Amino acid sequence: MKLNARLVTDGLKFPEGPIAMADGTVLVVEIEGARLIRVMPDGEKQVVAQLGGGPNGAAIGPDGKCYVCNNGGFNWIYHDDGFARPHGRADSYVKGGIQRVDLETGAVDWLYTHCDGNPIMGPNDIVFDADGGMWFTDHGKSYERLMDRGAVFYAKIDGSFIREAAFPLITANGIGLSPDGRTLYATETETGRLWAWPILGPGELAKQPWPSPHGGRFIGGPTGYQRFDSLSVEAGGNICVASLVAGGISVFAPDGALVEFYEAPEPYCTNIAFGGAAMRTAYITLSGYGQLVAVDWPRPGLVLSDPLTARG
């Protein structure tokens, strides 16, 4: 099936991390533009903050501030038709980490750049649990002939606690929680795999033994060649995974069955987030051409734990 999408706005510089806000606006980060943008219902764009590096995923914390996974930036390849795609670690790369943004003032501070002495290389996506803690992925960076191994982390918003929860992942990307908050989901980009772990406590995951490389339970993979990106969870428990190359949204049941696949109009379908009336609007980033689109979704999305996002 094809996505029946309507354009919200365009002209963005590789948007990701959409957040549907209760006031009808949508926050997105621009990886290439290195900014946090507020998109108004009429498509007008307002700059909330200059972030630098490569802001990737974002979520609203329990304090009402926006927490951003900043991957440190990419180099870019530009096509003649205006399509842009990331390519390796930016020549200007300094660090990756978690940033905290005050939405009222635009003030930005770095909250985490290391865990147990190891640098966080390229954090990608983030979700908050009911206790106000954040789960986030580290995709790592690719440079020359080398590629970092990725991980899943858990941290508190006051900067007092960070723990590596799962390692190693191959290009860890999307992350989300089941409706009951007891299962963590994460995707890997280059393998096109969706994984799940039972949650035991803050930063603690139940692990399966070898041959699972990191203790996760394999949920599912794509049909054909796809590279998985971010994900979002429906209220009924289905996991909606955005994908690159064969761009679109794969919907998996919790048992791994592929419910449906929606084909996007471009290869870089990167993120999906729910909002709007009854949480039935899916906001999707089509990043290569810099678009944010909206889709009437057949089922409601999960209401997140953060306080400022859209409610049905």
Distance CA 279, CA 296 (A): 10
Q: Which of 124, 133, 69, 67 lies closest to 100 in space, CA to CA? A: 67
pLDDT at 93: 98
Distances (CA, A) of 208 to 190, 201, 212, 255: 22, 16, 6, 16
pLDDT at 307: 64
pTM above 0.85, yes or no: yes
Q: Given the structure tokens 């089922």, which residue do they identify? A: 299
> Helix, strand, or coil here: 106?
coil
Q: Given the structure tokens 């972030």, which residue do they identify? A: 51
pLDDT at 312: 44
Q: Which of 164, 168, 101 lies closest to 140 in space, CA to CA? A: 168
Domains and CATH numbers, the chain: 5-296 (2.120.10.30)
pLDDT at 205: 98
Tens of pLDDT along the chain (312 residues)?
A: 999 999 999 999 999 999 999 999 999 999 999 999 999 999 999 999 999 999 999 999 999 999 999 999 999 999 999 999 999 999 999 999 999 999 999 999 999 999 999 999 999 999 999 999 999 999 999 999 999 999 999 999 999 999 999 999 999 999 999 999 999 999 999 999 999 999 999 999 999 999 999 999 999 999 899 999 999 999 999 999 999 999 999 999 999 999 999 999 999 999 999 999 899 999 999 999 999 999 999 999 999 877 678 654
Q: Which of 86, 92, 193 lies closest to 137 in space, CA to CA? A: 193
Whether the CB-CB separation of 38 and 29 falls below 8 Å is answered with no
pLDDT at 310: 66
Phi, psi dihedral angles at 225 (to 5 degrees):
-85, 110
